[in-house]
Each structure stands twice: as structure tokens, then as C-alpha cells.
Amino acid sequence: MQLTDYEKRMLDGEMGPAEQVAMELLVQYGDALGAERLVEVQSVTGGIGGSPQIRLFSKGKTMDEVFNEFKLNTGASFKVPKLKAFAASLTNTMDPKCWEIQRASRDAFEWGVRCEEYSKTIDMHCAFTCAPYLVGITPIFGEHCACMESSAISFCNSIIGARTNTEGLESTGAAAITRRIPYWGLHIKENRYARYQIQVETDITTSKDWGMLGYFLGRSVKEKVAVINGIQHHPDLIKMKHTCAAAASSGGVELFHIAGMTPEAHTLEMALNGQKPLETYVYTDREKREMYELLNSGRSEDVDFVVIGCPHSNLEEVWTIVNCLDGQKIKDTCDLWIFVPSAIKHLADRQGYTEIIERAGGHVMTDTCPAMARVFPEGTRTAATNSAKQAHYFPSLTGIGTYYGSTEECIQAAITGKWGGRL
């Protein structure tokens, strides 16, 4: 691998043991991938302690030792310096202000606090969100970054036109320390062209529609790059957020294009680089119905848990929820949990939205989500969500039957305790 003089100095240990170990890891990683060089990254999104396994390992260990083991893949003991890249943490284990409502253990609570305090000492910003692009960790077109959250990877590549592959604990740890990542995969322009096509022949208007289309995209092309063609209504940020999450959940999609709408697909020909697609998948009313049925595993019309915010909701979604509630109360047999980044929670507090939701019987939470943290109300049998990602993971991870629908349908379910959504 070709290294710059600066990178060689890090590798030789001139800048300290952390930089040296991180560079050794990146060189090994890059060599295994066939990368010819490293590329400088501006931002890194990863984390330290979201896993229960890491929490168990941490017993009797310093946080530097935990970081070295899980973020740098070394048993060596040295102090972790302040990070060179602008780095932010992804979701934590629980909301530190609602951990008892979430039925998180005290051990998980204390570990979460410990992770937050340590993150500050090394300048890893405590965003604790799966949607970092909502709170300022937002790359621009063409910018190289390193991210390990599937929905954020898809959003950055597809909607923004930034460049990242799916990274892990170790590579994001090394990238944060060195501000480098191997130049391979989706960092390279030639690898970003679509080879497959999704031809849409049904109406795609609502966020629910977009979530189902994203789910079909992932199931169809798996991790391949595709271009969606035939869209008549221009989507907004919320719709794209749900599409990216759904596609990454059902198939591992890191990058897709929408002809005439996303930055690397001004035309269908541009997205395909003038080539014919290897295969075209047609999305009609029939396929939409199939996706809807796959995402709805609920068996009882009684709903006892409604969860919104996977990926985390922005302020507009909170505003929509407040309008849907319209002074009504949540059914006493149902729980409503809304997940947002803490920065959005601050805005919701100032606007009075949090108070309105809490007065209705709901909760606005931060830092985590039910599917990933396995936190949900005791006795939950049937959940409802506006997230195709959550509807995909919830049944397999928790065994809870789940309904998928619009925000409006979900809030109505929370008010009535009954599922009334339909395609």
C-alpha cells in the first residue's frame, strides 16, 4: 500500500502508540481489500459501548483498555489521545433519563453513563443517534467519511452523494484516530454506478410507500447498486430516511440512485454510466402488496405498543405527531414511545411538543431504539411502527408481532389501542 510521509510517520510510531496501532490496522485492512492507498476522511460515526458483550468485557477494565480492545483490536494498554477526525457516537444502550421506563438494568444505565463521560475525554461527540446527518454530522457531496450505521451509510451515499463503505468497530476506531480509511469500494467513482434497475409502475407518494419500496429494493438487489426509475413525486428528507433504512435492513444496500432526483443520477443514463442494467426488477401494485404483507406480522388487532423513530425522528416528524394527537389521550392499555436525537429533543422541549406528547400519555426518548437495545414495555404482545426497518427486525429480535403503517395510522392505534391501518 502506498502511504504518504505523514502516514508513514504514524505507522513508525512517531506520533504515539495509538496512531501506530491504528495505522497498522488500517494497512492490514487495506491490504486485505486490495486498496492501493488510504484516503482522508472528515467525519467518523461509530461508537464504543452499544453492545452488551462490550459492557461485560468492561468489568474491571479502564475505558482506554476497552477502546483498545474493541476499537483498535489490540490488547496493548496505552492512553487513547483526542481523536483527529470529527467523530460522533451512534446509539447508546438506553435513554439516561428514561432508563427505568425502558426497563433497562442499572448496570446498562451505569455503563451508558460511563461511555458518555469517556467519549467526552477523547472528543468523540455524544450524538447517540442512528441518524447523525440530522444533528450536524452531515457530509457534503463527494466527501469521504467512515460510518458503521447501515441506514446512515445508505443515506450518505445515496441521498447526499458522500462516500463511505460499511465500516465496523475497529475500522471506525482507527479512522477516528488517524483520519484515514482504505480507498476502496464506494470511495471509488467507478464502483458507484448502478448495475441494476428498479422500474416503478405504481404510485409512490407517502413515507409508507417509500418504506415499502426501499424494502423491495433491498430484497431484490441485496448489497448491489441499483437505480430506481419511474418515480413521479419528488421525495423529502423523511421519505428518504425511511427508504434508506428499509433498503439497508432487507438487503444491505449501501448505495442506490433515483433517476432525476439523487445527485449522481441526473438521468437514468448517468446512473448506469451509459450501460444497460444487468437485470430490471419491476415494482407494481402486486409487489407493493407483497411488501406490505411481509412487514405486517401482527396477529391481534389490539396494539399495546407504538414506536416511532427508527431511524430517529426529526423535528418535523415530532410536529406531525403532535398534530395527529390533536389533544387526544393515549389509550391506557397502550404505550407510545417516540425516539429522537437529543438535539432534536431539546428543540421539541423548547417548542412545547414534548409536554404535549407527555400530557397525552406518550414519551419522547433519546439515545437508543427498541429493536437494537431490546427495550420495550413489559407485557408487549403487539407493536405498531411507521418504520419498515423496525417492522423487519422487531419480530425476529423480540418475538413481538408488528404492524407497519403511516405515522397517522400509528398514532391512531395509540389512541384507540386497535390497529386500523391498511394498504
Is residue 128 pLDDT above 90, yes or no? yes
Closest CA to 148 of 176, 167, 131, 132: 167
pLDDT value of position 385? 98
Which of the four pLDDT bands, split at 50, 70 and 90, describes residue 374? confident
Grid coordinates of 323: 398534530
pLDDT value of position 47? 84
DSSP state of 159: I
Domains defined along the chain, listed by start: 5-189 (3.30.499), 193-294 (3.40.1060), 296-416 (3.30.499.10)
For the segment 22-46, the average pLDDT, to the nearest whole number, is 97
How large a percentage of the chain has pLDDT more than 70? 100
Chain-centroid distance of CA 342 in Å reads 15
For the segment 318-347, the average pLDDT, to the nearest whole number, is 98
Which of the four pLDDT bands, split at 50, 70 and 90, describes residue 372? confident
For the segment 144-151, the average pLDDT, to the nearest whole number, is 97
Kindly give the residue spans of alpha helices, DSSP state H, lying in 122-232: 150-155, 169-178, 207-221
Grid coordinates of 131: 441518524
For the segment 138-155, the average pLDDT, to the nearest whole number, is 97
Closest CA to 159 of 230, 223, 235: 235
Cα 168-257-41 angle, rounded to 5 deg: 40
CA dist., res. 28 & res. 30, Å (int): 6
Chain-centroid distance of CA 256 in Å reads 16
pLDDT value of position 96? 93
Which of the four pLDDT bands, split at 50, 70 and 90, describes residue 393? very high
List Cα–Cα distances, 200 to 41, 197, 213, 214, in angstroms. Answer: 35, 9, 9, 12
Which residues 6+ apart lie within 8 Å of 393 measured at CB? 249, 371, 372
List Cα–Cα distances, 99 to 105, 275, 360, in angstroms. Answer: 8, 52, 20
Which of the four pLDDT bands, split at 50, 70 and 90, describes residue 33? very high
For the segment 122-129, the average pLDDT, to the nearest whole number, is 95
pLDDT value of position 81? 97
Q: Across all residues in the chain, what is the average pLDDT?
A: 96
Closest CA to 222 of 182, 258, 195, 262: 195
The amino acid at residue 120 is K
CA dist., res. 340 & res. 325, Å (int): 18
Which of the four pLDDT bands, split at 50, 70 and 90, describes residue 57? confident
Give tens-digit pLDDT for 290-303: 999 999 999 999 99
Query: Strands of 335-339's sheet, edge to edge?
Result: 363-365, 335-339, 305-308, 382-385, 401-404
DSSP state of 365: E
Give tens-digit pLDDT for 258-271: 999 999 999 999 99
Which residues 6+ apart lie within 8 Å of 50 measured at CB? 90, 91, 92, 93, 372, 373
Which of the four pLDDT bands, split at 50, 70 and 90, describes residue 70? very high
Asked if 395 and 376 touch (Cβ cutoff 8 Å), the reply is: no
Give tens-digit pLDDT for 278-288: 999 999 999 99
**Rg (the chain; Cα; Å):** 22
Give backbone dihedrals phi and psi of 404, rounded to 5 degrees, phi first: -115, 130
pLDDT value of position 238? 98
364: which strand partners? 338
Asked if 273 and 375 touch (Cβ cutoff 8 Å), the reply is: no
